[in-house]
């Protein structure tokens, strides 16, 4: 489980009045209580690290009553996530009102349009900064959601984004999505990439030792893909590609970590293609084992086919010392281009994807070393760096 916020990194609400900047952070869920998506990971990381750069944080999320204790008082739950939506939104509005009246934040930062919308009229003339983690409506549609729901989600997103004085995106790819799909002027958009805790992912172990800890084979080439099991993650073409990869590397094993609605379909696909010995679905990998999993692999693979704003798993893998191969989708190339352009594969549906994936296992010396991967992640994506860049956007909107 992800650790609670230490009191030194998350001052209690009564300390906000003395902070140079007070920010109400409106999130979605609380990462330690669930297997978090990228939004929850970013929210949790900022809640932990913004106080160290002079930002007093008071957060609101959908979660259990224990969120306050887990966060050292920095984050409160306004409702349980399973509460029916109308009551959840009502509770969100009431909680936003209480924080505005009690703590008088300098800035409101919204990470999820659904929970920001009920209190938008309460903000008054306070600056609003939106953290755009992805096109909610488009992602819903791509993952099989109904058209009517997607239309409603898009309308709600536009309502919130129009009010924002500044929007923060994870990559230039998502800046383009925000400007082209939602009509946001480019001069209102700032790029701040995702963050990682390098120390958490630096196991200090060799690849072989990490495999032994996990009980994984030590004598086979291992590929790892940490993904939610949904259509846009590109797992179907990745599994298909393993037919080619196994012919060149008969002992290769692809391990897919994650859960999601495609589990049964992917399992059937593996069986239909006769890949049971070469592809395994691991299910959810606990946080305590995730760094070991990255370290144990020869290569990580991120085969996304649509709507990837950044891909935190790319920098997590690098922080663990394992090169990560990505497709040219969204912000994935931006995350690795400066480290090694050859980490960018063709699209997962391209005929050359499988041969190039197989070739990567033949030539490990062509990719960055473990030390180079870790140094790159530490210099560009460590949380103190990301927190400072985020604070600068908050400060700018106050001018």
Rounded Cα gap, residues 239 and 245, in angstroms:
10
Residue 16 has a pLDDT of 39
- Give the largest CA-CA distance in the chain: 65
Domains of the chain and any CATH numbers: 13-195+382-397 (3.40.50.2000), 198-380 (3.40.50.2000)
**pTM for the structure as a whole:** 0.87
pLDDT of residue 18: 46
CA angle 65, 124, 112 (to 5 degrees): 45
Three-state DSSP string of the chain: CCCCCCCCCCCCHHHHHHCCEEEEEEEEECHHHCCCCHHHHHHHHHHHHHHHHCEEEEEEEECCCCHHHHCCCCEEEEECCCCCHHHHHHHHHHHHHHHHHHHCCCEEEECCHHHHHHHHHHCCCCCEEEEECCCHHHHHHHCCCCHHHHHHHHHHHHHHHHHCCEEEECCHHHHHHHHHHHCCCHHHEEECCCCECHHHHCCCCCHHHHHHHHCCCCCCCEEEEECCCCHHHCHHHHHHHHHHHHHHCCCCEEEEECCCCCHHHHHHHHHHCCCCCCEEEEECCCHHHHHHHHHHCCEEEECCCCCCCCCHHHHHHHHCCCCEEECCCCCHHHHHCCCCHHHECCCCCCCCHHHHHHHHHHCHHHCCCHHHHHHHHHHHHEHHHHHHHHHHHHHHHCC
Q: Mean pLDDT per 10-residue run, the chain (399 residues)? A: 35 44 96 81 95 96 95 96 96 97 96 96 96 84 74 92 96 93 95 95 96 96 95 95 97 96 97 97 92 98 89 95 96 94 96 96 93 97 96 95
pLDDT of residue 1: 31
Q: What pLDDT, on a 0 to 100 scale, did the predictor assign at position 236? A: 97
Which pLDDT does position 267 carry in this prediction? 97
CA dist 353 and 303 (Å) reads 10
């Amino acid at each position: 489980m992800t650790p609670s916020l230490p009191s030194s990194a998350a001052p209690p609400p009564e300390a906000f009045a003395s902070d140079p900047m007070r920010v109400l952070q409106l999130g979605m869920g609380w990462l330690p209580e669930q297997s978090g998506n990228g939004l929850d990971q970013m929210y949790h990381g900022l809640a932990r690290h913004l106080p160290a750069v002079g930002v007093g944080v008071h957060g609101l999320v959908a979660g259990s009553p224990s969120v306050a204790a887990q966060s050292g008082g920095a984050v409160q739950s306004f409702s349980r996530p399973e509460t029916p939506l109308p009551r959840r939104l009502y509770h969100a509005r009431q909680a936003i009102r209480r924080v505005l009246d009690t703590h008088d934040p300098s800035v409101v930062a919204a990470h999820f349009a659904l929970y920001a919308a009920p209190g938008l009229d309460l903000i008054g003339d306070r600056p609003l900064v939106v953290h755009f983690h992805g096109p909610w409506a488009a992602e819903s549609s791509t993952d099989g959601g109904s058209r009517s729901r997607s239309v409603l989600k898009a309308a709600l997103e536009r309502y919130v984004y129009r009010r924002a004085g500044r929007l923060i995106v994870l990559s230039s790819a998502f800046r383009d999505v925000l400007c082209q799909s939602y009509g946001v002027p480019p001069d209102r958009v700032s790029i701040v990439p995702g963050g990682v805790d390098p120390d958490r992912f630096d196991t200090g172990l060799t690849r072989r030792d990490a495999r032994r800890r996990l009980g994984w084979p030590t004598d086979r080439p291992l590929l790892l893909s940490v993904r939610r099991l949904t259509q846009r993650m590109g797992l179907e073409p990745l599994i298909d590609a393993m037919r080619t990869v196994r012919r060149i590397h008969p002992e290769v094993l692809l391990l897919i970590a994650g859960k999601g609605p495609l589990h049964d379909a992917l399992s059937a696909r593996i069986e239909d293609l006769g890949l049971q010995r070469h592809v395994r679905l691991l299910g959810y990998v606990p946080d305590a084992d995730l760094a070991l999993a990255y370290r144990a692999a020869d290569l990580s693979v991120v085969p996304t086919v649509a709507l990837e704003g950044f891909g935190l798993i790319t920098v997590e893998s690098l922080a663990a010392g394992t090169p990560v191969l990505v497709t040219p989708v969204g912000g994935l190339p931006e995350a690795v281009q400066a480290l090694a352009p050859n980490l960018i594969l063709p699209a997962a549906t391209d005929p050359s994807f499988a041969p190039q994936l197989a070739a990567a296992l033949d030539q490990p010396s062509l990719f960055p070393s473990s030390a180079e991967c870790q140094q790159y992640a530490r210099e560009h994506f460590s949380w103190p760096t990301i927190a400072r860049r985020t604070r600068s956007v908050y400060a700018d909107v106050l001018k």
